[in-house]
Amino acid sequence: MDSTLDSEIILKVENVSLHFELEHFQQKDMRDMFISAITHPIDFIFKPQEILMVLDDISFDIKRGMRLGILGINGAGKTTLCRCIAGMMVPQKGKIISQAEIRAIFDTGTGIMPELTGRENARLLARLFFPDVKDLHPLVNEAIEFSELGHFIDIPFKQYSKGMQARLMLSLISARSSDILILDEVLDGADVFFQQKLSVRMHNFIKASGATVFVSHSPEQIRSVCDSVLVINKGKIGFMGEVEQGLEYYHQNLAPNN
């Protein structure tokens, strides 16, 4: 029975390519643009736009129960790929096919209204994360309890340490199972003990239904969370498969002195 569940594909990435127009990089402001349009009108109109390829023809499937680790050096396109899977970005070529409910977290150090308390922020974020849940009270209370923040939950969020913020955010996002959970380099904010606690919760959560996409630079975290690995190398898939082989590929092919 497990094997039929294992083979169920819940998200398909098909020939996805995404580029940015390089003007996006230049920190120009409007007044600069106005001046350059007047002083160099011909350049301004006819200068061809440079293109930066971030994802180049990527295809893979996410199956139910999968715990996929994504590895790659900085700028390889990991976060962009995650944002595409989450539906935040839309690839220029190819498509992502999925009916799955997807939640994504890319950073834990943010509240929505720092002046409000942790509890109020939790409630507000829960509304944003789980728009389909009618009564959020049980969910928010469970997440708060899991976070072990105790009486800190009723002080303003802006007074939280980074670790406390991470505890609250991670407790909240994992409070309800979703089909796919994307965690992009977010475990580093929490302390080791909480990471272990969270890892148990995530394993339960994965058993309950979902798949996890997990981005990290830490081999230990990848080993403890993932059952397969995707290595991105300059916007392409360098390797996809078993964890140890993936880590080996990553270290051999992408090490800085290589």
Residues that bind another protein (CB under 8 A): 18, 20-21, 24, 27-31, 33, 80, 83, 86-90, 92, 102-110, 112-113, 115-116, 120, 124-125, 127-129, 131-132, 169, 173, 182
DSSP 50: P
Supply the minimum distance, in Å, between the C-beta of residue 32 and another protein.
8
Task: Decide whether 112 or 155 has the Cβ nearer to another protein.
Answer: 112
* Tokens at 105, concatenated: 């977290």
Task: Decide whether 168 or 247 has the Cβ nearer to another protein.
Answer: 168
Report how far residue 22's alpha carbon sits from residue 39's, in angstroms, rounded to the nearest whole number: 21
Supply the minimum distance, in Å, between the C-beta of residue 131 and another protein.
4
Query: Where are the extended beta strands (E) located within 176-220?
Result: 180-184, 211-215
Task: Output helix, strand, coil percentages for the chain, rounded to the nearest 5.
Answer: 45, 25, 30
Task: Decide whether 86 or 230 has the Cβ nearer to another protein.
Answer: 86
The residue type found at 225 is V
DSSP 149: -
Distance from first CA to last CA of the chain, Å, rounded?
44
Task: Decide whether 175 or 240 has the Cβ nearer to another protein.
Answer: 175
Supply the minimum distance, in Å, between the C-beta of residue 115 and another protein.
5
The backbone torsions φ and ψ at residue 127, rounded to the nearest 5 degrees and listed phi first, read -65, -40
Supply the minimum distance, in Å, between the C-beta of residue 184 and another protein.
9
Task: Decide whether 21 or 191 has the Cβ nearer to another protein.
Answer: 21
Supply the minimum distance, in Å, between the C-beta of residue 122 and another protein.
12
